[in-house]
Chain A
Amino acid sequence: DTAVSQTPKYLVTQMGNDKSIKCEQNLGHDTMYWYKQDSKKFLKIMFSYNNKELIINETVPNRFSPKSPDKAHLNLHINSLELGDSAVYFCASSVQGNNSPLHFGNGTRLTVT
């Protein structure tokens, strides 16, 4: 009964490949996010969707394309993977509006070789 689940947990792939990370939340939240955490644990927002509509796009290369088929799912597709894409990617969700804490998944560790 995991609240925010993302798959896979680990992803090892070669440069130039295309990969996807899936995220699902069963909390009934309207808003979902993708965050990237680098090797120094610095966490930065990438995208946010509210009811399937993109509301935040933080200057992320267009090789990254989020897709939200419904408000419970937010997937992340990455084209032409680069070494610098190696990081831990976290999906999160929240109730719409201010003063709403985020609920995070357990992360996907992406390693590009």
Chain B
Amino acid sequence: SQQGEEDPQALSIQEGENATMNCSYKTSINNLQWYRQNSGRGLVHLILIRSNEREKHSGRLRVTLDTSKKSSSLLITASRAADTASYFCATDSSNTGKLIFGQGTTLQVKP
């Protein structure tokens, strides 16, 4: 069964604006990860946030995690056209490294 659900499914913004994507999940987790997928390419890992962490930053990316609400958000600040991609959250609930992916948010950044 699908663990993560992402919101919105699609997002279109102008370059320079911020983009926020949300992810909700159903069971307890060890960590939550965000990945980016450019068209026709594999997924690229962006950020991993552990269940005991609440916020994490990496460059223009900011991830929050609220385990009480079973939700996470990914904020991309000062977006660029090159940020156009699909973004996926994935949860790790087991000790086997098995990741359950959300359905993804397709982000379009217009120049």
Q: A residues engaging B (CB < 8 A)?
A: 4, 31, 33, 35, 40-45, 48, 55-56, 90, 92, 94, 96-107
Give the distance to chain B from A92, nearest Cβ to Cβ, in Å. Answer: 8
Whether B45 lies near A103 (C-beta < 8 A) is yes
Q: A44 and B92 in contact (CB under 8 A), knowing A99-B48, A101-B45, A104-B44?
A: no
B59 on interface, CB distance cutoff 8 Å: no
What are the residues of chain B within 8 A of A102 when measuring CB–CB?
33, 35, 43, 45, 99
Majority SS of interface residues in chain B? strand
CB closest residue in chain A, given B50 = A99
B96 interface hit (Cβ, 8 Å) = yes
Between A and B, 14 residue pairs with Cβ closer than 8 Å are A33-B97, A35-B101, A40-B103, A42-B101, A45-B98, A90-B42, A94-B97, A98-B31, A98-B97, A99-B92, A100-B97, A101-B33, A102-B45, A105-B42
Distance from A48 Cβ to chain B, minimum over Cβ atoms (Å): 6
Is there contact, CB below 8 Å, between A41 and B97?
no
User: Which chain A residues border B100 with CB–CB below 8 Å?
Assistant: 45
Identity of the chain B residue whose Cβ is nearest the Cβ of A41 in the assembled complex? B104
For residue B95, CB closer than 8 A to chain A, the reply is yes
- A44 near B97 with CB under 8 A, answer no
